[in-house]
Structure 1
Amino acid sequence: MPTELNAEIVAALPFDIRWANVRISFAFDHFLYKKQAQWIRNELMRQKIMEENRRRLGQAKRRIEAMSFRLLPIHLRNLRNNIASHFRLDNCFGLTENQFRAELTPEIFENQLDAIFVTIDRDNFQDVSWAQKFIIQSLANSFEGYVDE
């Protein structure tokens, strides 16, 4: 295939991460690299950062669930209301009517937290970053209701 044709084909290709792994020919790779190298590097870095943010979000969720067993009921309710409002949800989101009327227990809190976390778009960089930073900050702020057993 003529080199000029390779250049035109590459110019018409959409940006795609698969071009980091697919090999066609040396000339094709050369033109592709010139056009898409920076974008591919940025995309790979973005995916790496997203995976790290998802991991941190999962860790923060596990830590806040574990901590919920050690919070006073009033502080647990405040934490639940704060998290629900941050995600722009009602404080009864994810609860049955009976659960909402009952005293908030750590188990009910975990169920509600699971329902809230389902609403997070795990493919949206901004949503995941925003959620994990908020949950980590909530952990730090919640220790004023901490009780030692």
Structure 2
Amino acid sequence: MKKLVLLCVLALSTSAYAQDQSRLEAAKAYVETPVQQKLLNDMFSPAGVMAQMGLMGGQLTLAQQKTVAGIVSEELQSMKPSITTAMVEGMAQSFTLEEIEALTAFYSSPVGASAMSKMTPFMQQTLTSLGPEFQAMQARLIPRIKAELSK
């Protein structure tokens, strides 16, 4: 009986390992698609960083923002291998094999690729339009947090 239980546990763990490996391979294939790589490159570009900087506040001049965006872009590019690995592992843990394959198929299709190509400008526009609201929220947030923590 013990041998049967051991064989069942071994078979299940081997099957789970194979499923995990399949998900990891599928997630890696998804992250390495040209569409996903372009999205990452766009987000990590100086222009992509500049779009996100609107949330930081208006303390910097445009020239300073461009300088900072260039530095941040270089640092993000240096982290790309780590970010890619984290994305692959996160996908494999969060999604089923079928879901990853469906996402890959969609974003590899003409419609999916077109939608993804519009994601960066969409997010840039959204973040830029919300910049003043985030700045106002930050101005309210800091005094509230300080007041609460000083109690």
TM-score, normalisation: structure 1: 0.38
Higher gyration radius (CA): 1
Greater RCO (CA < 8 Å, at least 6 residues apart):
2
Q: Comparing both structures, which one devotes a greater share of its residues to helix?
A: 2
Structure 2 length normalisation: TM-score? 0.37
